[in-house]
Homo-oligomer: A and B are copies of this chain.
Amino acid sequence: MKILITGGGGFLGQKLAAALSANPMIAGKPVTSLTLADLAAPAPMDAPFRVECVAADIGDAAAVNQLFTDAPDVIYHLAAVVSGAAEADFDLGMRVNLGGTMNILEAARQAGNVPIMVFASSVAAHGGEAPEVVTDGVELNPQSSYGTQKVIGEKLLQDYSRKGFVDGRGVRLPTVTIRPGVANAAASSFMSSIFRDTMQGESANCPVTRDFKVWHSAPRTIIANLLLAAEVPAEAFGFNRCINLPGRTDTIGDMIEAMTSVIGPEAESRITWQGDPAVEAVVGGWRAEFVPEKALGMGFIADRSFEDTVRWFVEDDIVNK
Across the interface, which residues of B come within 8 angstroms of A129, CB to CB? 137, 238-240
Contact of B162 with A156 in the complex, beta carbons under 8 Å: no
Alpha-carbon distance between A141 and B140 when the two chains are bound, in angstroms? 10
Give the oligomeric copy count. 2
Alpha-carbon distance between A141 and B240 when the two chains are bound, in angstroms? 8
Closest Cβ of chain B to A88, distance in Å, is 11
Interface of chain A residues 111 through 157 with chain B (CB within 8 A)? 128-131, 137-143, 145, 148, 151-152, 155-156
Quick one: which of B131, B139, B159 contacts A148, CB cutoff 8 A? B159
When C-beta atoms are compared, the residue in chain B nearest to A162 turns out to be B143
When C-beta atoms are compared, the residue in chain B nearest to A131 turns out to be B137
User: Could you list 7 A-B pairs, sorted by A, with CB under 8 Å?
Assistant: A128-B239, A129-B239, A130-B137, A138-B139, A141-B240, A145-B159, A152-B155
Across the interface, which residues of B come within 8 angstroms of A156, CB to CB? 148, 152
Taking the complex as formed, is A158 at the interface, i.e. its CB lies under 8 A from any CB of chain B?
yes
Taking the complex as formed, is A49 at the interface, i.e. its CB lies under 8 A from any CB of chain B?
no
| Max chain B C-beta neighbours (<10 A), residue from A138, A156, A159, A162 | A159
Contact of A148 with B142 in the complex, beta carbons under 8 Å: no
Across the interface, which residues of B come within 8 angstroms of A151, CB to CB? 155
Alpha-carbon distance between A145 and B161 when the two chains are bound, in angstroms? 11
Contact of B148 with A90 in the complex, beta carbons under 8 Å: no
Taking the complex as formed, is A321 at the interface, i.e. its CB lies under 8 A from any CB of chain B?
no
- Total chain A interface residues with beta-carbon distance under 8 A: 25
Taking the complex as formed, is A163 at the interface, i.e. its CB lies under 8 A from any CB of chain B?
yes
Alpha-carbon distance between A90 and B129 when the two chains are bound, in angstroms? 32
Alpha-carbon distance between A138 and B158 when the two chains are bound, in angstroms? 17
The 6 closest A-B pairs by CB, nearest first: A148-B159, A128-B239, A137-B139, A129-B240, A152-B152, A148-B155
Interface of chain A residues 219 through 251 with chain B (CB within 8 A)? 238-240
Contact of B139 with A139 in the complex, beta carbons under 8 Å: yes
Closest Cβ of chain B to A166, distance in Å, is 13
Contact of A90 with B238 in the complex, beta carbons under 8 Å: no
Other CB < 8 Å A-B pairs besides A130-B137, A141-B240, A142-B159, 11 of them? Answer: A129-B137, A129-B239, A129-B240, A138-B138, A142-B158, A143-B162, A145-B159, A148-B155, A148-B159, A152-B155, A152-B156
Closest Cβ of chain B to A266, distance in Å, is 42
Interface of chain A residues 244 through 296 with chain B (CB within 8 A)? none
Closest Cβ of chain B to A131, distance in Å, is 8
Closest Cβ of chain B to A105, distance in Å, is 10
Across the interface, which residues of B come within 8 angstroms of A143, CB to CB? 162, 239
